[in-house]
Structure 1
């Protein structure tokens, strides 16, 4: 029996699930499962959309790698169930997962901890009139970003270029959420920073710059297209690189993340000021994903990255380890 097999015991790789990001999760989970098995770990697939979470306990799983994205996997509900079952899991705990899944709450906490974000306002779907939308567009200017705050993978996002498109953009996002985040558009460079560890030991990996065709980093360009260009490490000077990495770790710790996450930024073209967009607590692990790309530049291959993340699986009050 390999040392890793002894160390980790029976491991469940949770992927698939019931969110709008199921397709991406299937790709992530299959990659993680193959990587762990290649390292000699007793890893097994587990799709919560097809099986009860309780089976993790009855079948004797010792820990799980969460490769689920979106609701019912990344929002704290699954983490709470695993706490009740006493099964250690990868990624942030219940509270941090719940906060990060809400882009609006994430922005509020980060702003209060000195991490800047684009100006924003939350809009209730049931009560937001066209006149209110027009007032927000006048305040923030156009283009205007509208987002379903509890979705990811660019699902439920509209970039509104003209006042005539406000209602259509809002209605598109309203298919996914009862509250919509209206956010000032920041023109510039799209960056992302993986963070691994916990508390004082959390560290930022190399920054990735994303250059999508016409600046359109949508679902297709994120997961399937070969047209999107990724630069890692991002071509930034040393001082700016360190500043953005520090902001990423600060945001990670501000909402109580542990294990691993990915922090997304826009770098404003006019003055090189960074603005946090969101924190992903269960980032993609597909062939196009950014955390493995960054880790590889730092000298850690995909299989070893999966093992490192699995080794950080814990239970309990994860936020208290700062």
Structure 2
């Protein structure tokens, strides 16, 4: 198949996207596909022309553009099939405050939050109690993410987010273990337990530094808790109107309660990323997983 592999872009996660895209291209070529590596940053103006010349577009972008649905909307204009979710579901999932409204409306457990689209007035006070987690509302890879135990720490993290031209989301801190669960088609994959080595939570360093975290798949959870994680991951996928695949992140409390953090529509895609690890457990190697994503994308396009 003639594949347009779209990577790079201009978000803060550009390098993560490029590195993953190179590995994807190598795996696809090893399986006999013709791959054009397309850097969205340098070649954006040629996207539609290139899409018309390929059988399928495989998107490996993180943040915006990519997870915001822009590239998907453009590809649809020229009838080029692609993997994963369409523009609407992609944007809802990327916008954390919007996604949390969808989760709450669907009866899914998510932490209380406060959305700050712009710097608040000087007399503003958070309505949630410290300690707080503060993150970019549309960011990923745990960039511009921090814990605030007091107002000075809160102001410092908010200043970094607003200086980058982004919106902020504040949540109550949740204690417990982080578990993530992928969806492939309409099947929930075996969850992964994430144990940061260098810090207290899964920050950028934990995600991408060698040895920064232990990722245990299948997660050592009871069969009952595993089933509940998978059920909620699929429910979140459906609530957002997603297709193809996604990955939902959770906190497992000491009482074995589950709280949904967010859903990623274009999860990391290297051979050792979380969703590929889960797929490996059910017998799909990295190349086979990529081909399964393309198969699902073609089915969606035809439907």
Alignment CA distance shift 1:170-1:57 (3 Å): closer
CA offset digits 1:85-137 (Å, max 9, x no partner):
110011100100011110011111011112111111112323x13542xx32x
Asked if structure 2 preserves the Cα contact closer than 8 Å seen for 1:83 and 1:315, the reply is: no
What corresponds to 2:75 in structure 1?
82
What corresponds to 1:211 in structure 2?
195
Could you tell me how far apart the structure 1 residues matched to 2:237 and 2:300 are? 18
What corresponds to 1:3 in structure 2?
none
Could you tell me how far apart the structure 2 residues matched to 1:315 and 1:223 are? 33
Report how many residues are paired.
300
Q: Do residues 143 (structure 1) and 131 (structure 2) align?
A: yes
Could you tell me how far apart the structure 2 residues matched to 1:85 and 1:69 are? 22
CA offset digits 1:156-190 (Å, max 9, x no partner):
21211223312111112223344311111101001
Runs of 4+ in 1 over 3 A off after TM superposition: 314-318
Asked if structure 1 preserves the Cα contact closer than 8 Å seen for 2:133 and 2:172, the reply is: yes
Q: Structure 1 length as normaliser, TM-score?
A: 0.88
Asked if structure 1 preserves the Cα contact closer than 8 Å seen for 2:81 and 2:301, the reply is: no
Asked if structure 2 preserves the Cα contact closer than 8 Å seen for 1:150 and 1:177, the reply is: no
Task: List alignment gaps of at least 5 residues for structure 2.
Answer: none
What corresponds to 2:291 in structure 1?
307
What corresponds to 1:96 in structure 2?
89
Alignment CA distance shift 1:178-1:70 (3 Å): closer
Task: List alignment gaps of at least 5 residues for structure 1.
Answer: 1-8
Could you tell me how far apart the structure 1 residues matched to 2:24 and 2:286 are? 8
What corresponds to 1:55 in structure 2?
49
CA offset digits 1:208-256 (Å, max 9, x no partner):
0110023232212201221311111111111111011100000001111
Q: Structure 2 length as normaliser, TM-score?
A: 0.94
Residue 25 of structure 1 aligns to a residue in which SS? Answer: helix
What corresponds to 2:118 in structure 1?
125
Higher normalized contact order (CA 8 Å, seq sep 6+, divided by chain length): 1
Q: Do residues 292 (structure 1) and 276 (structure 2) align?
A: yes
Could you tell me how far apart the structure 1 residues matched to 2:298 and 2:239 are? 19
Q: Do residues 10 (structure 1) and 33 (structure 2) align?
A: no
Output the aligned Cα RMSD. Answer: 1.8
Alignment CA distance shift 1:94-1:227 (3 Å): closer
CA offset digits 1:185-212 (Å, max 9, x no partner):
1010011101011xxxx11101001100
Q: Do residues 34 (structure 1) and 56 (structure 2) align?
A: no
Could you tell me how far apart the structure 2 residues matched to 1:178 and 1:49 are? 19
- How far has the Cα of 1:287 moved from its partner? 4.6
Once the two structures are overlaid, the 10-residue window that deviates more, 279-288 or 169-178, is: 169-178
Alignment CA distance shift 1:315-1:308 (3 Å): closer
What corresponds to 2:243 in structure 1?
258
CA offset digits 1:137-167 (Å, max 9, x no partner):
xx43222011111111111212112233121
